[in-house]
Homo-oligomer: A and B are copies of this chain.
């Protein structure tokens, strides 16, 4: 998967960055419960570091909307509501539609090949009933498209939005997925990229997002709240110096 632009903090080995990535992944994997308070000392304890890097990592996640601050200064996982999902849906339709349109105008042959490969791998995983790999490949497919747009700021914004919706994408499995027109839509998008049809690319991507997030919004209870699906299987953390474990749900 070639990345045309936006070299990420690949070489950042600071503890702050490691903590950021660990917590971010735990969040994406749904390993924190919505509304759960996450204390600095808890994270520091789990990862075996001091408060300093934890504070900076968590504050960054707050700035990105992945966490929110209590009025009285503590950090918690945001509760998802129908209104919030609908807001995110409309924003994502705009931005990811824009990125797809730009990708249609800028994508190279090899980038399109990478997108096509990711699309194939989605089908393979889906046929196997492998939901975890499915989700992973869907993400790769999407970001392969967005990376082909060659717009670093746009890519950053989209990543921030995925961080907010990520824990709730589990809810699409398995019911929504099986009824989805997914493969055909992706096929049309790829054709649009090849024919440099920006409007068609935008339309396909926006429509995909509309369907998925509208489905999630409809899962809200009478109060408008949406509970995330059960977290995916807890895979052990790598790294982590001494006695550090992975995050656990309902910790603290």
Task: From A23-31, A88-96, A134-142, A240-248, give the one contacting chain B.
Answer: A88-96
Given contacts A11-B71, A60-B63, contact A154 B95 (CB under 8 A): no
Main SS at interface, chain A: helix
Chain B: minimal CB distance from A160 (Å):
8
- Chain B residues whose C-beta falls within 8 Å of the C-beta of A94 in the assembled complex: 94-95, 97-98
Q: Is the CB of B98 within 8 A of A91?
A: yes
- Chain B residues whose C-beta falls within 8 Å of the C-beta of A164 in the assembled complex: 153
What's the Cα separation between A16 and B154 when bound, in Å? 28
Q: Is the CB of B65 within 8 A of A153?
A: yes
Given contacts A11-B71, A71-B11, contact A153 B59 (CB under 8 A): no
Given contacts A60-B60, A95-B95, A98-B91, contact A65 B156 (CB under 8 A): yes
A55 within 8 A of B: yes
A residues adjacent to B (C-beta < 8 A): 9, 11, 14, 16, 55-56, 59-60, 63-65, 69, 71, 73, 84, 87-88, 90-91, 94-95, 97-98, 102, 151-154, 156-157, 164
